[in-house]
Structure 1
Amino acid sequence: MELPEAEEACSEVSPMAIPHGSNETSYLLPPNKEDWGGHGIPDFVYGQKELVPKGIQWPRNGPSLLDTLPLSRFDSALCLAWRQRMELGLFRYCLGELQTQTLPGAVGFVAQLNVERGVQRRSPQNIRSVRQAFDPEQFNFNQIRPGEVLFRLHREPDLPSALQQDDILVVINVSPLEWGHVLLVPEPARGLPQRLLPGALQAGVEAVLLSSHPGFRVGFNSLGGLASVNHLHLHGYYLAHRLPVEGAPSEPLDPGGRLHLLQALPAPGFLFYTSGPGPDLEALVSRVCRATDYLTDHEIAHNLFVTRGAPPGKTSSSSALTGVRVILWVRKSSFGIKEGEAFNVALCELAGHLPVKTSQDFSSLTEAAALAVIRDCLLPPAQAGEVQAALVALIAKEEQ
């Protein structure tokens, strides 16, 4: 595979950078581009002890103290390799520190100005169905440059699983939302369409548990839910701010408490929760994928967000990051990028993180305007109620 010329190297990168003394050098590219193709893909091998379900908290005195938190081995490997790729010019634009504001209001939207992503990201593929088959003639992750791959996630034998496990490539997103924005891509050679599979979701949840940063999140956009590439992948990225979904209150939808309704703004969603790795996590993954299978089969677009957070219930304390929340939203199908809106509604926007495209929109955006854009993407109440009833019925079958 011939390697394209790298873009002009970035002179500055985000201050959320790994210290140069980090020893995770096995994930760095050799200095000469001619050697990248033969570099091979290093394995990031992790075991049970590195999955940390508790003890990760936001600093009490704000995100400015995040740099003082100890980094996990996963964070160190990912961020050091990601920073190197940024300095080598493998991204479509240089990502510095993004202008950020919390919108006044009850929700607590975190808005960020990211003009370059709005202008320079790859155009979405021609997608017309949530169930569309993989097309090898369209752009896919078998076509990326060797240097875009950071490493392969690999579980140690002490992490047995009843779920089918795929090799997961951790790849830079060349049009990053924020610092450390990567894609988790299961065995790209298999040509899997953008339909969530248990092995991929389990890797995403475990990636959150591998990070000691409270703001490392993972998400999934379905086709029709603003996925721009029809090749199975999840997103992972760092955001040094709390989000409303971390601790928003919820109510149970089934007697066993396996499915909850997150009613708080910015959008109602279905909440699944696990306190940590093991059988409970695998049960959650299977449960979520049964729900997304139903949605895909019925041509219902959806977005999913994985974050550390509080247990389900009436609590609204976003500081109680005692486990992992998986939030699933159903929405109207939307194919392509909507022009004229301040932001497009996908996984991060539904969670309360708004990457805004223009300076004018960033300076004028209000909570009410943001909520109006999001509400326009949601299913009508009657259809949303039908979906809720169907998912509750799916969960009830577990008891039979």
Structure 2
Amino acid sequence: MAAPQDSNETSYLLPPNSKDWEEQGVPDFVYGQKELVLEGIQWPRTAPSLRDRTPRSRFDSALCSAWRQRMELGLFRYRLGELQTQTLPGAVGFVAQLNVERGVQRRRPQNIRSVKQAFDPEQFNFNKIRPGEVLFRLLREPDLPGALQQEDILVMINVSPLEWGHVLLVPEPTRRLPQRLLPGALRAGVEAVLLSSHPGFRVGFNSLGGLASVNHLHLHGYYLAHRLPVEGAPSEPLDPRGHLHLLQAPPAPGFLFYTSGPGPDLEALIGRVCRATDYLTDHDIAHNLFVTRGAPPGKTSPSSALTGIRVILWARKSSFGVKEGDAFNVALCELAGHLPVKTSQDFDSLTEAAALALIQDCLLPPAQAEKVQAALVALIAQDKQ
């Protein structure tokens, strides 16, 4: 069935005269229960493109048309072309992409010293961006359960994009929230994935120390027209009710939360995930999170069965700043199997073994990992739902 088209797509585009940008204000993208796509999303035989005219959801149409316009207007740090892409030989299925411009031209990360660091208004934050960088405000209709209070989520371009359609989801930037995951932000991220009919639209979060470069609450969302290992990686339950699982397969062991769609089950998942990230933040443990359509937990989960939403959480060593000499820096997309590589030389020579070694170097030592696992299992065991 064709996804609904946006009947007012031009409302998310900027007027030709830049002087009118501020006067126009931020348009609202209002969505309801019926637009959350629960079933029928799967990978086609040929990789789907965001640049063709195939039917897309209203969310995809609004985001991609506005994002493309901002690219044409020169609001990004570089013009993103078709990225050279390869699947590394081996059992994991790493998707490597050459993105030289991002490695050279992205904004330097802020001076972060702690996962719990307070917001600093003197540092760059999303209240300092140009008006044209905001695409729209994401608003839920009252028929959607779970929100006692409406969140003001701004969807804005990432000026140093990883891939096509790379955006930031920023909850109420004027509140000056530090980079600590909150339920409203996670709900917006999960529902953004459900609003897209593209199987490769993913959302993620980097904590401070987990390569977040700006200490102002935000999530990443972007399209990648390739399957990733974590979509169907096998897992083992860590609690008898199945609320927490352990992904054991490469690229990296992580904690898996799963929901089949919106409603009480999704609200319970949001609560569990945020309790887990609160524990990690309170104990100054860096972490990354990835939201993707995927298979239910289990020992064997074919990646083609995108029947629900997988939320994967990795606890990892803190890493402050960027390691210039590495082929890639390990954050949310790398742990999921997507490797944006900085140089042609590294792209041509990168192997699965080398990629796994770089990722392994960022993980917690075994003793600390076991301690974190035990703590999260005990935390989830207190869940009454």
Give the TM-score taking structure 1 as reference length.
Answer: 0.93
Other structure's SS at 1:212 match = coil
Q: CA deviation at 1:187?
A: 0.3
In the alignment, the residues of structure 2 paired with residue 334 and residue 228 of structure 1 have an alpha-carbon distance, to the nearest angstrom, of 11
Give the aligned partner of residue 210 of structure 1.
195
Other structure's SS at 1:117 match = helix
- 1:91 equivalent to 2:76? Answer yes
Contact map agreement 2:252 2:359 (CA 8 A) in 1: yes
Other structure's SS at 2:382 match = helix
Q: Deviations over 1:320-373 (max 9, x none)?
A: 000000000000000000110000000000000000000000000000000000
Q: Deviations over 1:161-188 (max 9, x none)?
A: 2554421000000000000000000000
Other structure's SS at 2:271 match = helix
Q: CA deviation at 1:65?
A: 7.0
- Which runs of 5 or more structure 2 residues have no equivalent in the other structure? 1-5
Contact map agreement 1:36 1:147 (CA 8 A) in 2: yes
- 1:134 equivalent to 2:108? Answer no
- 1:50 equivalent to 2:35? Answer yes
Q: Deviations over 1:272-298 (max 9, x none)?
A: 000001111011001000000000000
Give the aligned partner of residue 319 of structure 1.
304
Other structure's SS at 2:310 match = strand
Contact map agreement 2:30 2:141 (CA 8 A) in 1: yes
1:1-400 to structure 2, matched below 5 A, reads 23-59=8-44, 61-63=45-47, 67=52, 69-162=54-147, 164-399=149-384
In the alignment, the residues of structure 1 paired with residue 249 and residue 363 of structure 2 have an alpha-carbon distance, to the nearest angstrom, of 14
**Identity between Structure 1 and Structure 2 (%):** 87
Cα distance change on mapping 1:195 and 1:163 into 2, 3 Å:
farther
In the alignment, the residues of structure 2 paired with residue 35 and residue 384 of structure 1 have an alpha-carbon distance, to the nearest angstrom, of 52
In the alignment, the residues of structure 1 paired with residue 258 and residue 117 of structure 2 have an alpha-carbon distance, to the nearest angstrom, of 30
Q: CA deviation at 1:68?
A: 6.5
- Which runs of 5 or more structure 1 residues have no equivalent in the other structure? 1-20
In the alignment, the residues of structure 2 paired with residue 378 and residue 308 of structure 1 have an alpha-carbon distance, to the nearest angstrom, of 24
Other structure's SS at 2:135 match = strand
In the alignment, the residues of structure 2 paired with residue 143 and residue 223 of structure 1 have an alpha-carbon distance, to the nearest angstrom, of 20
AA in 1 matched with 2:187: Q
AA in 2 matched with 1:43: D
Other structure's SS at 2:383 match = helix
AA in 1 matched with 2:17: N
Contact map agreement 1:163 1:199 (CA 8 A) in 2: no
Contact map agreement 2:48 2:198 (CA 8 A) in 1: no
Contact map agreement 2:166 2:220 (CA 8 A) in 1: yes
In the alignment, the residues of structure 1 paired with residue 53 and residue 307 of structure 2 have an alpha-carbon distance, to the nearest angstrom, of 21
Contact map agreement 2:244 2:255 (CA 8 A) in 1: yes
Q: CA deviation at 1:160?
A: 3.1
Runs of 4+ in 1 over 3 A off after TM superposition: 64-69, 162-165
In the alignment, the residues of structure 1 paired with residue 151 and residue 378 of structure 2 have an alpha-carbon distance, to the nearest angstrom, of 30
Between the two proteins, the alignment pairs up a number of residues equal to 380
In the alignment, the residues of structure 1 paired with residue 71 and residue 220 of structure 2 have an alpha-carbon distance, to the nearest angstrom, of 18
Contact map agreement 2:154 2:171 (CA 8 A) in 1: yes
Other structure's SS at 1:63 match = coil
Give the aligned partner of residue 7 of structure 1.
none
Q: Deviations over 1:254-286 (max 9, x none)?
A: 000000000010000000000001111011001
In the alignment, the residues of structure 2 paired with residue 374 and residue 56 of structure 1 have an alpha-carbon distance, to the nearest angstrom, of 30
Cα distance change on mapping 1:339 and 1:39 into 2, 3 Å:
same
